[in-house]
Amino acid sequence: MSFVSVRNVFQTYGRRPIIERVDLDVTEGEFISIVGASGCGKSTFLRLLLAQERPTRGEIRIADAPPASEPGLDRGVVFQRYSVFPHLTVRENIVAGEGFRRGWGRFFGAARRAALTRADDTLARIGLDHVAGHYPATLSGGMQQRLAIGQALAARPRVLLLDEPFGALDPGTRQSMHAFLTDLRTETGMTVFMVTHDLEEAFKLGDRVLVFDKPRWDPHDPDVNGATITYDFDARNGGIPFQTLEEKTHVLHPV
Amino acid sequence: MRLINLKPGRPLAVFLALLPFALAFLAYAVASQIRLEANAADKLLPAPGTVWDTAVRLTTEGDRRTGRILFWHDTWASLQRLGLGIGISAGVGLIFGLLIGLLPLMRSFLAQFVAVLSMIPPLALLPILFIVFGLGELSKVVLIVIGTLPFLIRDLSQRVLDLPEELLVKAQTLGASSWVIAIRVALPQVMPRLIQSVRLSLGPAWLFLIAAEAIASDLGLGYRIFLVRRYLAMDVILTYVIWITILAFLIDWTLRWVSRRYFPWAGAGL
């Protein structure tokens, strides 16, 4: 049984279809990269996975739970920007990962001390212990994204969703973030969905690479068709692309 | 070199900042001198020295009948009304700003209503306030609240709406309830903005305070100004006007300091 199952999902804004007929099965612990041209529904699909939006048709289940109606603890997310709370220090941001679910959104007394200790451990692991007392605005882009990932993981989600998390970083920082993310994954074995514009990054990090595109294109009315998963690549084996074609539905197969 | 690229050094900047004050003072002193030369008993533009003497007399000598130094009693009465009015406005504005900004249901329910309310000229309501709440402290405080509250609600709810959607989604994925999002995400982030809005509201608040005091009061800075107007006591009026200006400036400065001190993360927005 698949861990994340997407069944015949359509999403329409007004009369404009964005994505249509998306089916997907993901086993626990897989890293799924999602690529595609701008406006091809990658981010919409991620919002659907996040339950920030509900699909017009079809359903998305995680671990056989009923389809979620709003974002919750089982889905962690890191956006390209605004992923950490600017009014909390780095340490408090990590504590928030565990504390926000509580009645007052914070820990008190002994629980607070324990949470702070755990946060310091997390910070040491993600290499931010030297800036624990700083506010995120004083951190570099790479450090902010590391903090955002650390914060999302502190909540222990079932699935981690990344929306172009390294899009705003310079190439060097990006490389170190890749290593950081790979390490974290080996440690936690988490299921990850990552939307990216960078094909190399998609194949390097992902176990599978999904391509979103419009299978049909009406030159007179480009908006009449929605996008769907047109390719589903196996991207394991050192990230060398195009070994195995896993997609069965919407592509022409070599006879 | 282009004008837009000419930047003053530190000494020149200080000099330029002080220059308009000096020029205004000089212009007044000259005008006053001209009038006093023509008529030594002129009351319209008293000499700066006379204003200073009056200021010293007002702030140190007690009232002949009661012995109270009215200047400080006026100040205290006015500041109390202003503080109470602005304080209530800020508190209520914050709560409704958060409700309207965070909850779509409240937004549908109240946003348009507040927008219409904010169009009512508060001074036009003053007679009603005097009729309903009497001529005491209450009507003056209520006028300040009515005058500043709609602006504060609209401004703060807009600030809450301006919070990046990402932050609200992120908080939800960390398991935060609406309540936790309100007190842990939205509230701290609009606090610096609240101080900013209160600073902007202080101008109107003083206006409403002085208007209310001018019409019906027996103590207060605005009351005193309008009282001594009958005797054309320009030296007293000027003393009070300068004092009100200094007070307003100090309050503004203090709020800015508080904002920088307690919300360092808000940075350049202040």
Q: For residue A193, is pLDDT > 50? A: yes
Instruction: Tell me whether residues A72 and B175 touch, CB distance under 8 A.
Output: yes
Q: Does B266 touch chain A (CB under 8 A)?
A: yes
Q: Which of B166, B180, B264 sits opposite A100 (nearest CB)?
A: B180
Q: For residue A253, is pLDDT > 70? A: no
A25: β partners: A5
Confidence of residue B269 (pLDDT cuts 50, 70, 90): very low
Q: Does B267 touch chain A (CB under 8 A)?
A: yes
Task: Write down the pLDDT at residue B64.
Answer: 81
Closest alpha carbon within chain B to A53: B169
What does the domain layout of chain A look like in residue ranges?
Answer: 4-234
Task: Write down the pLDDT at residue A243.
Answer: 53
Task: Write down the pLDDT at residue B110.
Answer: 93
Q: For residue B270, is pLDDT > 50? A: no
Residue A86, both tokens: 């600017």
What does the domain layout of chain B look like in residue ranges?
Answer: 3-45, 61-269
Q: How many CA atoms lie within 13 A of B253 on its CB side?
A: 6
Q: Which of A230-244, B176-190, B244-258 has the lowest mean pLDDT?
A: A230-244
- Tell me how far apart the alpha carbons of residues A161 and A167 are, in angstroms, rounded to a whole number: 14
CATH code: domain B61-269 is 1.10.3720.10
SS3 B220: coil
Confidence of residue B247 (pLDDT cuts 50, 70, 90): very high
User: β-strands A191-195, A31-36: how paired?
Assistant: parallel
Q: For residue B61, is pLDDT > 90? A: no
Query: With contacts defined as CB-CB under 8 Å, which chain A residues touch B188?
Result: 87
Phi, psi angles (nearest 5°) of residue B168: -70, -40
Q: Which of B174, B263, B267 sits opposite A96 (nearest CB)?
A: B174
Q: Does B174 touch chain A (CB under 8 A)?
A: yes
Confidence of residue A255 (pLDDT cuts 50, 70, 90): very low
Instruction: Tell me whether residues B175 and A155 touch, CB distance under 8 A.
Output: yes
Exposed, middle or buried: residue A161 (CB in 10 Å: 0-12, 13-18, 19+)?
buried
Q: Superfamily assignment of A4-234 in CATH?
A: P-loop containing nucleotide triphosphate hydrolases (3.40.50.300)
The type of residue at A94 is: I
Q: Which of B174, B188, B267 sits opposite A101 (nearest CB)?
A: B174
- The single residue listed with the structure tokens 């979103």 is A212
Confidence of residue B96 (pLDDT cuts 50, 70, 90): very high
Task: Write down the pLDDT at residue B267.
Answer: 67
Residue A49 CB neighbours (<10 A): 25
Q: For residue A238, is pLDDT > 80? A: no
- The single residue listed with the structure tokens 């060398």 is A240
Confidence of residue A254 (pLDDT cuts 50, 70, 90): low
Mean pLDDT taken over chain A: 86
Task: Write down the pLDDT at residue B154.
Answer: 94
The stretch B28-46 carries a mean pLDDT of 91
Task: Write down the pLDDT at residue B62.
Answer: 82
Report which DSSP code applies to A210.
E
